[in-house]
Amino acid sequence: METTYAVIGVDPGPAAGRALRALEKALHAAGWRAVNADAAALVLHVVDPERPTVFRRRARGTYVAALCELPPGRAPQLADTYPLLVRSLSNIVLCATEEGTWFTTMERGFYLVDDASLLERLLPLAGSKLVIDNEFRTDLEPELWGGDEVTESIRTAGRAIDSLGLLPAPFPIEDLLDERDLRHVKLLYGIGGLSYGNLSARKDAERFWMSASGVDKANLEQAGRDILLVSGYDAGRGVIVLSVPPVVEPRRVSVDAIEHWMIYRRHPEVGAILHVHGWIDGIQSTHLNFPCGSEELAVSVSDALAREPDPLHAVIGLHNHGITATGENLPEILGRIGSRIRPQVPMSG
C-alpha cells in the first residue's frame, strides 16, 4: 500500500480531534506523508454525522475512513454508524468517544479500539486487496441453463438459512442513497446490494455454483442470474470468471467468491461452503476482520481451515464478522451446525 494520506472534511469535535491526532502521529512515525486527497492512498474524512458529505475517489484503491463523533452523552450504536458508512461512501466509519473509537465495517463489524491501537487496527483493513471484478463468459453448457441438482440444493439451503434468521439485511441500501451514489457504491464494493451471507456447492473438480451478490438468499430463482457458475480465477487481473447463459442478464457473484475459490482449490474434498453472519462458540477464528472479497480474508480463512483436523467438516470464525462452514454438501452442513448457530457475532477490538 502506498504510504500517503490526506485529512479532509469538517472541523473535528474534541473526541474526533483526539483520535485524528493519534492517527496522524502514528502515520508520521510509520513514515507516511500527507498529500492532496486526490493523490492519497488513505483519506481520513471528518464528517458531520447528521449531514455527512461524500469524498468521491478517483481510484477504487483509495481507502476512505469517515471520522465522526456523536453529540455528548449519546453512545454510538450500529444503527447510528452503519447508515453513515453507506451515506458517506466510506470503507469504514470511526466514531470517536471518550473511551476510544468505535469501528464500523461493511460486514457489520462494530467494536471499540483504543487510541494506541488505532493505526495498527486500521492499516491491515486499508491495505487489503479486493478481488471483486467479474468476467462473464457466455459459455455455459445449454443443459445447465435451467440449473441442475446442485443449484436446486443451493435454493433449498437458502430458504433453510433464512428460516433460521441468519440472513440479516439491516439497512436497505436503496433507501439510503440516491441513484448516482448507489451506482458509485456498487462499483466501489462490487456488490449488488446489502444482503449478508452466501452459499456455494461444487459442480466438478474445477467449478462451483454460488449465490449472487445482494440477492435475497431465500429467493434464488434463476440459474445464471441468482446462482452463478464460477469457472475460473484470473489471478493476474484479480478477476473471477463466470460461465453464464447467453440469454440471461447475470448479477455479480458474491464478493466472497475468492474465498470459496481458494477453499475449493486447496481442499478438493470440500463439496460445499456456507457463510453466514452468525457464530458458534468454541471455534477457531481469524485474527483480523479483513473486508469481504479481499485476498487477505480468503488466505486467512483457507489457512485456518488447513489447521483443522478435518477440513471437510469444519467451521471457521471470521473475526467480528461471522462463520464459514465446509461440508460434503449443503444439507450436511446445515444438519450438522444449523441448530448451533446463534445470530449474534461477538465483537472485540
Going from the C-alpha of 254 to that of each of 107, 159, 335, the distances in angstroms are: 13, 17, 24
Is residue 52 located within the same domain as residue 85? yes
Let me know if residue 16 belongs to a domain: yes
Let me know if residue 132 belongs to a domain: no
Residues with Cβ within 8 Å of 150's Cβ and at least 6 positions away in sequence, in order, are 201, 202, 203, 209
Q: Please say if the pLDDT value at position 173 is more than 60.
A: no
Q: CA-CA distance, 9 to 278, in Å (whole number)?
A: 35
Q: Which region among 18-22, 167-171, 277-281 has the lowest average model confidence (pLDDT)?
A: 167-171
CATH number of the domain residue 9 falls in: 3.40.50.10300
Q: Please say if the pLDDT value at position 28 is more than 90.
A: yes
Residues with Cβ within 8 Å of 284's Cβ and at least 6 positions away in sequence, in order, are 304, 307, 308, 316, 317
Mean pLDDT across 111-124: 95
Let me know if residue 325 belongs to a domain: yes
Is residue 318 located within the same domain as residue 265? yes
Predicted pLDDT at 345: 87
Is residue 150 located within the same domain as residue 111? no
- Which residue, of 126, 154, 170, is where some domain finishes? 126
Is residue 36 located within the same domain as residue 96? yes
Please report, as a single letter, which amino acid is at residue 38: D
Domain that holds residue 152: 146-223+252-340
Is residue 283 located within the same domain as residue 315? yes
**227-279 pLDDT, tens digit each:** 999 999 999 999 999 999 998 999 999 999 999 999 999 999 999 999 998 89
Is residue 122 located within the same domain as residue 258? no
Predicted pLDDT at 85: 86
Q: Please say if the pLDDT value at position 167 is more than 70.
A: no
Is residue 191 located within the same domain as residue 274? yes
Q: Are 156 and 232 within 8 A, CB to CB? A: no
Beta partners for residue 239, in sequence order: 133, 234
Helix-then-strand count for the chain, H and E: 9, 15
CA nearest 211: which of 203, 202, 220? Answer: 220
Q: How many domains does the chain have?
A: 2
Predicted pLDDT at 283: 96
Is residue 166 located within the same domain as residue 48? no
Is residue 169 located within the same domain as residue 302? yes
Q: Please say if the pLDDT value at position 193 is more than 90.
A: no
Is residue 122 located within the same domain as residue 152? no
CATH number of the domain residue 217 falls in: 3.40.225.10
Is residue 101 located within the same domain as residue 153? no
Is residue 328 located within the same domain as residue 284? yes
pLDDT range class, residue 197, cuts 50, 70, 90 = confident
- Which residue, of 68, 92, 126, is where some domain finishes? 126
Let me know if residue 15 belongs to a domain: yes
| pTM for this prediction | 0.90
**284-341 pLDDT, tens digit each:** 999 999 998 999 999 999 999 999 999 999 999 999 999 999 999 999 999 999 999 9
